[in-house]
């Protein structure tokens, strides 16, 4: 990228005075289940290795050298629930179709989500990797970031900041039957949902 080019928002040119990162580049996982983790990430995100040996894998799906690095560290303790810190990472797909077809493809591999939820700003499907780390696949429900932010300011988001659960296979069936993505991404109104109790155990 041209070093003098303005930083772009999702909706177009938006010159910024602040020097900020252009994107999140990657995350790194230490694991004692290297032989399970590497194929899982390759399968789930259709990644390939830009480097791979018996202890280290750099995985990517695009121009970046690696989006995920996985490091074999024997005798690691498993990640633990109930501990403060990193909770999940989210990957954005280009369309609801791409998200739901990916979910369908993963079912054939026996990889199933623990939660599918329309948050309002996004439609999201959550998985656990073999170590139990959570990864989210999402699609933006609005064409612009501004519209998504505006939704988060509505009273219906204040009373339910978590979302409305959905069944991915059913949503894909409706999409294939001819309903529009825009219509299927509208979050239904189910009234209040508590932030503390509303998240599933996953
Ligand atoms: Fe998220």
Rounded to the nearest angstrom, the distance between the alpha carbon of 3 and the centre of ligand 1 is: 30
For domain 23-188, the CATH class is alpha beta
Label each residue of the chain as H, E or C: CCCCCCCEECCEECCCCCCCCCCCCCEEEEECCHHHHHHHHHHHHCCEEEEECCCEEEEECCCCCCCEEEEECCCCCCCCCCCCCCCEEEEECCCHHHHHHHHHHHHCCCCCCCEEEECCCEEEEEEECCCCCEEEEEEECCCCHHHHHHHCCCHHHHHCCCCEECCHHHHHHHHHCCCCHHHHCCCCCCCCCCCCCCCCCC
pLDDT of residue 80: 84
Rounded to the nearest angstrom, the distance between the alpha carbon of 89 and the centre of ligand 1 is: 7
Rounded to the nearest angstrom, the distance between the alpha carbon of 4 and the centre of ligand 1 is: 31
What residue segments make up the domains of the chain, in order of their start?
23-188
One digit per residue, the tens of pLDDT, for the chain of length 202 reads: 444 455 556 656 566 689 999 999 999 999 999 999 999 999 999 999 999 999 999 999 999 999 999 999 999 888 888 888 889 999 999 999 999 999 999 999 999 999 999 999 999 999 999 999 999 999 999 999 999 999 999 999 999 999 999 999 999 999 999 999 999 999 999 999 987 766 776 6
pLDDT of residue 123: 98
Euclidean distance between CA atoms 127 and 116, whole angstroms: 9
Rounded to the nearest angstrom, the distance between the alpha carbon of 58 and the centre of ligand 1 is: 23
Rounded to the nearest angstrom, the distance between the alpha carbon of 83 and the centre of ligand 1 is: 18
């Amino acid at each position: 990228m041209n070093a003098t080019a303005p930083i772009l928002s999702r909706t177009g040119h938006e010159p910024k005075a602040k020097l900020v990162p252009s994107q999140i580049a990657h995350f790194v996982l230490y694991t004692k289940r290297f032989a399970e983790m590497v194929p899982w990430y390759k399968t789930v995100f259709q990644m390939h290795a830009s480097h791979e040996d018996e202890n280290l894998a750099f995985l990517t799906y695009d121009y970046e050298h690696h989006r995920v690095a996985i490091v074999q560290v024997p005798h690691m303790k498993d990640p633990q629930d109930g501990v403060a810190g990193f909770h999940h990472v989210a990957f954005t797909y280009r369309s609801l179709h791409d998200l739901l077809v990916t979910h369908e493809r993963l079912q054939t591999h026996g990889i199933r989500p623990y939660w599918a939820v329309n948050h309002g700003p996004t439609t999201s499907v959550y998985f656990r990797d073999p170590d139990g780390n959570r990864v989210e696949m999402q699609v933006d429900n609005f064409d612009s970031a501004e519209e998504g932010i505006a939704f988060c300011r509505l009273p219906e988001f204040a009373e339910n900041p978590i979302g409305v659960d959905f069944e991915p296979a059913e949503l894909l069936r409706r999409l294939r039957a001819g309903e529009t993505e825009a219509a299927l991404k509208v979050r239904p109104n189910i009234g209040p949902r508590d932030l503390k109790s509303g998240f599933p155990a996953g």
